[in-house]
Amino acid sequence: MRAGNEFVEQVQRVQDAGATRVVVVTVPDIGRNTPLGDDSSPAGAAGITALVDAYNGTVAAGVLDKNVTFVTSDRLLTDVLDRPEAYGFSPNDAFGAGNSQRNQRACTVESSLQCIAGVNTQNDGLVRVFADDVHPTTRAQRVFGEAATGIFENVTQVGAVSVATLGGIRQGAIGLENRLNLGAIYVTDEATGESVPRPVGAFEVYGGGELGTFSTDDQQVLPGFDADVQVVKVAFDVPVAPKVVLGGGISLDHAQTEFNGNRGGFDSRLIIGALFGVAEVYRGVYVNGSVAYGDIDVDNTRKINFTDGLTQSYEADTGGRYFSGKVGVGAMVPLGGGFLVNPSVGFTHETVEIDGFDERFGFAQPLAREFDDTEITANRLTVGLSGFYRPPANEKLIFGVRASYEYDLNDDDLVVGSREAQSGQAFGTQTAPRPDRDFFFLSGNATYEITEHGSLTLGASTVLGLDDVSGYTASLIYKHRF
């Protein structure tokens, strides 16, 4: 169809001019859902519907590979006409027997182009969907605009599930970073006060909890969000050879994330298992490594807000996986007076995968959608510097601080694909913002030996250098040496 092909060409021209986020909205079923179709004979209405279907089919096929957000308008229009009062329009029964919003026009002239509110419009106080035979009123156009905007934002929100999950895991892993050094290999001899290697087979078990809060401001089409995180973790390590320590641990993470502007959010639960090790390869110099795998469970809610307080909510459950592998090298250098510094470098590979999901629940949802799998992968370089201080007057107390510069080698877009849930019509793909490539972590802790074999560590951390992003955690860990 010529008109459809011309529209596809126009989409291409817009993208060639530099547009990266394009929304394509279909023509609704004029034969079934307009005053023109209502006034037509059954054959005439069917013919109009066939023309619309041909046009929409041409457009859908033409933009399928053009990275646009594709919105089918007729499902929303049908819902508006079936229950207009939910969208701020007059109910169908207000127009009398045999009438409904489908055959009502707000203008008293033939074309809305000559229609002026309060001059040549209906004055019965009723709020109509259509201005003339086929064109919606300004109010109805606003409903469609709010729906398209909501869909556009919602796609990036789905991408934010994997991004936010990765950010929380990264900051929660700082505690392990503080363990993967010579502090895991050496202990203080109670008799001499000297640092000595832990005996082979001498287990240390530690566990505790962590609370975190994260927030972002609105970024382009991605609404900002606030998240609260609760973590319970337990781990152990043991020297398996002189100056070689291996260990493992498990953490249970629960996060509640809410997007700004009542746009929905998601609850996520993670179970992450890790194996790690550290070995001294030369006096004061060590290598370390770790691998982690996690199972992710997500309850996602997205909301589209319309004028007059109407909010449509779409919910779905999905799952996912997390994987990371890390290697590093560092050194611990005593400075005297109880001070010690610990420079280190490391490389981390990490991936978060979120499975696709379907929002249908067996009842009419005009904007319900299916989402494809999303994945974010990062290969990250870390340059860190830690410092420790044990007061000579109180050797049961140790203070630590760590700062690290993080650089993500990846800069590929996070791609989110979706389609209309009811028909399976593809919406195309859309990119969602990924975290800034470079940022900083800053953490501090204080450890007190409460018994000969037990200690408590109070820690805190924050992320710096991410545009419009903040994150803070606090933790309490108990360690017992056998």
pLDDT of residue 362: 46
| pLDDT class of 445 with cuts at 50, 70, 90 | very high
150-164, 319-333, 463-477, range with greatest mean pLDDT: 319-333
C-beta neighbour count of 311 within 10 angstroms:
12
Of 326, 354, 330, residue with least CA distance to 343 = 330
Say which residue, 35 or 393, is predicted with more confidence: 35
Say which residue, 369 or 266, is predicted with more confidence: 266
Three-class DSSP category at 401: strand
pLDDT of residue 101: 93
pLDDT of residue 32: 92
Least confident of 56-60, 194-198, 309-313: 309-313
The predicted-structure confidence for 170-196, as pLDDT tens digits, reads as follows 877 777 777 889 889 988 777 776 788
Distance between start and end Cα atoms, the chain: 79
pLDDT of residue 363: 47
| pLDDT class of 421 with cuts at 50, 70, 90 | low
For tokens 């924050």, what's the residue?
462
The predicted-structure confidence for 122-165, as pLDDT tens digits, reads as follows 989 899 999 999 999 999 999 988 888 887 777 778 888 888 88
pLDDT of residue 221: 60
The predicted-structure confidence for 235-264, as pLDDT tens digits, reads as follows 999 999 999 999 999 999 999 999 988 888
User: Whole-angstrom Cα distance, residue 170 to residue 132?
Assistant: 56
Of 370, 472, 383, 478, residue with least CA distance to 425 = 370
The predicted-structure confidence for 360-406, as pLDDT tens digits, reads as follows 654 456 777 888 899 999 999 999 999 999 898 887 899 999 999 99
For residues 211-227, average pLDDT: 82
Residue 425, pLDDT > 70, answer no
Would you tell me the crossing angle of helices 138-172 and 73-82 to the nearest 10 degrees?
A: 120
For residues 437-444, average pLDDT: 93
User: Whole-angstrom Cα distance, residue 66 to residue 271?
Assistant: 38
Q: What are phi and psi of 112, to 5 degrees?
A: -70, -15
User: Whole-angstrom Cα distance, residue 195 to residue 480?
Assistant: 18
Q: What average pLDDT does the structure give for the chain?
A: 88
Q: Is 46 exposed, middle or buried (0-12, 13-18, 19+ CB in 10 A)?
A: middle
pLDDT of residue 364: 54
In this structure, the strands spanning 339-354 and 357-358 are unpaired
pLDDT of residue 267: 94
pLDDT of residue 361: 58
* Cβ proximity of 75 and 56 under 8 Å: no
Say which residue, 212 or 195, is predicted with more confidence: 212
Residue 431, pLDDT > 80, answer no
The predicted-structure confidence for 285-301, as pLDDT tens digits, reads as follows 999 999 999 999 999 99
In DSSP notation, 221-278 reads TBPPEEEEEEEEEEEEEEEEETTEEEEEEEEEEEEEEEETTT-EEEEEEEEEEEEEEE
Least confident of 13-22, 266-275, 377-386: 13-22
For residues 12-26, average pLDDT: 87
For tokens 């041909």, what's the residue?
54
Residue 324, pLDDT > 90, answer yes
User: Whole-angstrom Cα distance, residue 409 to residue 423?
Assistant: 39
| pLDDT class of 69 with cuts at 50, 70, 90 | confident
- Predicted TM-score (pTM) of the model is 0.85
